[in-house]
Structure 1
Amino acid sequence: MVDTINLDWNGQVPAIELLNGVVMPRIGLGTWPMDDGEATIAVASALGLGYRLIDTAENYENEAGVGAGIRHSGVKREEIFLTTKFNRKWHRVEGVRQACEASLERLQTDYIDLLLIHWPNPDQDRYVEAFDGLTRLLDAGMVRAIGTSNFKPAHLERLFAAGFVPHVNQIQLDPTHRRDDIVAIHEARGIVTESWSPLDRGDRLFTDSAVADIAQRLGRSPAQVVLRWHVQSGYVPVPKSSDPGRQSSNLAVFDFMLNDDDMARLNDLDRPDPDMIDADVFGH
């Protein structure tokens, strides 16, 4: 189900409804690898331009800056969808509560809109317990929605077997890394797909002939074309930028459409990447 939320810019950003009825904006601001100072400025700028989804994490070490940016923006906290994530050291029921309380303190807020397990860390084998901890925070009203990040099909299946379904799974995703196996599971279970690194390594993707041709024909930037591919595919991209001009451009992807041929050309960019981070062996 798609809803809309009114923003303070010259249009509206669509929102998508999560499994528990909470609505989440369809595009957001990523903040890695900003430090606190950069995050304060970038978040305030983005919120002033109309962003309402802000993504951070314990491991980014910029939650304090993100919180300061929110306060400096003048935008009401209840109008903002704030996401953060916690590390492997907290992968136990009570540990998740401790991680949440620490993030709340750093962010200087009373609640988190979306709290994610940052990496499954299967070698530790406690992510199911960690998700159990998330459900308890949801019941306690400390968070509004819960989910995972970088979970592969096998990790998700372990959660399903335990009776848990994330509201969101945030994964590396762009036209060259389509992740169709994971997306199919998301669609079957009603999990929202959120894209980190949605522009891949921009120069490489932006100079591809398909992206460049479509951008030229539509009079749009290559980044706008790729971000439009995300939202038109049903994903929620969180591009990182501290530059107000690029922030504004990245947000302006809801007033044009890609046609079927455009989508097919972009979908055909998918290719194997042996250097892609593997969530079975990487985590923190």
Structure 2
Amino acid sequence: MDKLPLLMTASISTRGMQGACFTDEEREKMYMDTLLFYRNELLTEEKYKIVFVDNSGWNLSSITSYVEGNPSIEFLSLNPADFDVTKGKGYNELLLINKAIENSVFIKEAGGFVKVTGRYPIYNIKYFIDYASRFFERKGHLYIDIKDHKLYDRLGLGWCGHSADVRLFAVSVPFYNEFIGNRYIELNDYKGLLLEGLMFDIVKPMINRPDIICRFKKEPHFGGLEGSNVAAFSFSKNQDSLKGKLKRCFGNMVRLFFPHFWF
């Protein structure tokens, strides 16, 4: 069975975007290391493919040479003039995905993709690609993870218990074009209009549709460093730190023993 291509979204140069972390050179190294991990993890089998898309105008020659021109990796470099850094990450990421769908041969052939934030690896990515690919073969259209609970509200913490995790999701091109793609214009990180909230609002009314899975059976194993700071006890800048490991272990237990508590 052919697998859905892995779409790595990338903005190597921050171009002065407010709140962006790390220098351009540090970010390039993170993307290179993550791409190398996915190449070694996935491309030993011909069924997997990777689409690497950057929207910052960064010279990709060092990255392409790093993976030795592998034919199962497609590189797209988008015109940075088409993007608006004053609106933050979510607006530009959806716009990037729109342009990836328009230009990627691998995505057009597959009719869908597994989207990941390209700067840091997901160590158990093969599980999610395989699961999504099987689901889409059975006419699935969206595979995403949302949290939807009132625990934070009841504890008076002020944290959001209702959002989608947009670091990893799979979607068919028809579903994306119909429900998601044109809504990038609604997003502005600096006005609190975040992609995590938009995707939750899109998914929540559809949770009973048979072509949608909105809760993963296991936790993604994220590596690398988060690009933001969050005022939450469970937050860890180093995603594979001891706190990150404990959070992932706890999350897997909740998913196994309390599958209807979407924490």
TM-score (norm 1): 0.32
TM-score normalized by the length of structure 2: 0.34
